[in-house]
Amino acid sequence: MRLITFLADGRHRVGALLDEDTTVLDLTAAAPDRPEFRSMLALIESGPAGSARAAELVADRPSTALIDAKAIRWCAPLPRPPRVRDCALFTEHLSAALREMARRQAAAADDPDAAFDQLMAGGRFTLHPLFAERVLYYTVDPLAISGPDDTIAPPEDAAELDYELEIAAVVGRNGSDIAPGDAGGYIFGYTICNDWSARDLQLKLMQTGVGAGVSKDFSTTLGPCLVTADEVPDPYALTMRARVNGEQLSLGSTASMTHTFAEAIAQFSRVGGVYAGEVIVSGTVASGTGFDAGRHLKPGDVVELEIDRIGTLRNRVAL
């Protein structure tokens, strides 16, 4: 199934996409007494029984609950996820990004080349071997989730907004001490993530060593839909693209992941467990930013992230 959260009568509702995403079946309206359709999180938490009931409604297509997909306001599939971890499942991008950040920091020196060599020799801009050994991540603010077609405004005093092309897996059930071979079965589905960054603020904050902070926490976009795992036979063979105003700037593939979502779930389950509805984001695919392409986003730019079998996530930069 291809599931969405949309806004109607002032509250979030759960829908299933039909007819090549042109029609929405309002699951909340089709079964108003069923608690599993009160929110996307409730549907995920209801487990196989809730998903089976949703599949029955999709097959029945009750006409009173069908809506034109263009007539509703789409929201993030999980507007308020219980937890979001942005991981370094792709590591190739990180190495290139660190070198570019070092080069930018060195640019203000009297001898930029010497300053760059000194920064790289210090090790802070070289990818640590631990990134290849285990899944490293940072926690994303779940209160700052945005959705498809939302306008994205950079934080105050930021001048260089950037997109990041990422895929995310949503955990389908609670678990702890999950065996690596079983971890893939804990994935409910997949969505697209735009992990927006304020590059100029990020570069300043990196010099302090305290983390990304406001350069990341102002917005993380999920959408346009949540595609159940059965609809994605091989999540590690998906083409990923990013366009700005229709021009393709990024092209990558989930095949280039260093770590899998299953590895992340197995690792996270050993400390504190994983929970239904939590979002595990891949990190950025190689070439997956404007930073990589030497392109700065401008007010009014339209950013589109597209991933095979999921769709296209579109946002506009605030004027």
Looking from the CA of 240 toward its CB, the CA atoms found within 13 Å total: 28
Tell me the C-alpha distance between 22 and 248, whole Å.
25
Domain ranges in the chain are 2-75, 84-91+127-317
Give the tokens for residue 88.
Answer: 């370094």
pLDDT category, 212, cuts 50, 70, 90? low
Q: Is the pLDDT of residue 317 over 80?
A: yes
Tell me the C-alpha distance between 164 and 166, whole Å.
6
pLDDT category, 207, cuts 50, 70, 90? low
Once rounded to an integer, what is the mean pLDDT over residues 153-163? 88
Q: Is the pLDDT of residue 118 over 60?
A: yes
Once rounded to an integer, what is the mean pLDDT over residues 140-158? 93
Tell me the per-residue pLDDT of 273-282, one tens digit each, with 9 for 90 and over.
Answer: 999 999 999 9
Tell me the C-alpha distance between 269 and 261, whole Å.
12
Q: Is the pLDDT of residue 213 over 90?
A: no
pLDDT score of 127: 74
Q: Is the pLDDT of residue 210 over 70?
A: no
Q: Which amino acid is at 266?
A: A
The more confidently predicted of residues 130 and 318 is 318
Mean pLDDT of the chain: 92
Contact 258, 221 (CB under 8 A): no
24, 9, 17, 266: which is closest to 135 by C-alpha? 266
pLDDT score of 211: 56
Give the tokens for residue 99.
Answer: 């070198």
pLDDT score of 29: 96
Q: Is the pLDDT of residue 209 over 90?
A: no
Query: Options 3.40.980.10, 1.10.150.130, 3.40.50.1100, 3.90.850.10; which CATH number does 84-91+127-317 get?
Result: 3.90.850.10
pLDDT score of 306: 98
> If DSSP states are collapsed to H, E and C, what string results for 52-109?
HHHHHHHHHCCHHHEEEHHHCEEECCCCCCCCEEEECCCCHHHHHHHHHHHHHHHCCC
pLDDT category, 225, cuts 50, 70, 90? very high
pLDDT score of 206: 59
pLDDT score of 145: 97
Tell me the per-residue pLDDT of 11-57, one tens digit each, with 9 for 90 and over.
Answer: 999 999 999 999 999 999 999 999 999 999 999 999 999 999 999 99
Give the tokens for residue 114.
Answer: 């010497």
Tell me the per-residue pLDDT of 94-112, one tens digit each, with 9 for 90 and over.
Answer: 777 777 777 778 788 888 8
pLDDT score of 208: 56
pLDDT score of 4: 98
pLDDT score of 215: 66
Once rounded to an integer, what is the mean pLDDT over residues 203-209? 61
- Please give the share of the chain, as a percent, with pLDDT higher than 70: 96
- Please give the share of the chain, as a percent, with pLDDT higher than 90: 75
H helices of the chain, in order, are: 27-30, 40-45, 47-60, 92-106, 112-121, 130-133, 180-183, 199-206, 214-217, 261-269, 290-293
pLDDT score of 276: 98
Chain length of the chain: 319
